[in-house]
Amino acid sequence: MTCAEFQQALPFIIDGGGDAKYEQHLKECTICADLVSDLRYIAEQAKLLVPMEDPSPRVWTGIERSLTREGLVKPAQARRGLLGPKLIWIIAPLVLAGVTIYLLAR
Ligand SMILES: [Zn+2]
Cα(2) to centroid of ligand 1, in Å? 6
Q: Give me the percent of the chain exceeding a pLDDT of 70.
A: 82
What CA–CA distance (Å, rounded) separates 38 from 1?
Answer: 21
Residues 56 and 88 in one domain: yes
Chain segment 14-37, per-residue pLDDT in tens = 777 778 888 899 899 999 999 988
Cα(19) to centroid of ligand 1, in Å? 15
Cα(4) to centroid of ligand 1, in Å? 7
Cα(34) to centroid of ligand 1, in Å? 9
| Domain encompassing residue 23 | 1-48
Residues 33, 35, 36, CA angle at the centre, nearest 5°? 65
Cα(41) to centroid of ligand 1, in Å? 18
Residues 98 and 64 in one domain: yes
Cα(59) to centroid of ligand 1, in Å? 41
Each residue of 24-50: b (16+ CB within 10 Å) or e?
Answer: ebbeebeebeebbeebeeeeeeeeeee
* pTM for the model: 0.45
Model confidence at 66: pLDDT above 60: yes
Cα(100) to centroid of ligand 1, in Å? 17
**Number of domains the chain contains:** 2
57: phi then psi, degrees, rounded to nearest 5 = -55, -25
Residues 65 and 106 in one domain: yes
